[in-house]
Amino acid sequence: MASNYREGVPVWVYVIFRKNPSSGHDKMSINISQDGPVFWNRHVIYVFCCSCHFEKHEPELLELLGRFQTRVERVCLVDKPVDYSFLPDSFFGFLASSLPNLQFVYLRELNLEHMNRATVEQLSRHRNLKKLIVHGCQSFEVLQDFHNLPQLLVVKGDIIGLKAMIGDIDPMAFETQRRSEGSVSTSSASVSDSEISVPDDAVGSPIMIDAVPNY
């Protein structure tokens, strides 16, 4: 797959967890977008998978990330509403140890119970990670207990400017569009023209933001 795409272009990955008991929900769907001006300087990978089958999806997802290993700069994992703790610590360990140019991680409405302190320490030592945003998640105390994680930003509610930072990620909208559109790859997904943007000076002390007015 990777050989069909431009070498050296940064890769952003959106992983969207579905809650759909329909036929085929146990399959992981992938679309790699590179068409249009917003994608001239990057590839955006949309991955749709089911939380109840993540044990099956994890090896496939890690293989995909591994193909673009040195090019992955952004990883966004989105669920809604918060589900049980299906994400294993090994997945976060992979982000910390196997993606050397990772700059930005966004986690929304996920149960992070299985993430352990050793993995958080790995993340804190990542040389390029600028921001780790935990948005509406549960059981993320291990991230707050480790006070040497300056990249951490905990969000409760909505924050002004979040769309500008990570794009307007709406799992239901993505899924609706995914079902109605064709795809040149093995599956289909929507293509958002929103961009993830993190200032170069985004690294600072750990921050918690309570609910504030919507955009």
The span from the CA of 138 to the CA of 140, in Å, is: 6
- pLDDT of res. 200: 38
3-class DSSP assignment, residue 134: strand
How does pLDDT run across 76-110, given as a tens digit for each residue? Answer: 999 988 888 999 999 999 999 999 999 999 999 99
In eight-state DSSP terms, residue 120 is H
Q: Are 153 and 209 in contact (CB under 8 A)?
A: yes
| pTM of the predicted structure, to 2 decimals | 0.74
User: Kindly report the CA angle at 171 between 170 and 176, in degrees rounded to 5?
Assistant: 100
- pLDDT of res. 38: 59
- pLDDT of res. 89: 97
- pLDDT of res. 133: 93
Q: Are 44 and 72 in contact (CB under 8 A)?
A: no
- pLDDT of res. 160: 64
Residues in the chain, pLDDT under 50: 1-4, 168-215
- pLDDT of res. 11: 93
Both structure tokens of 105? 């991680």
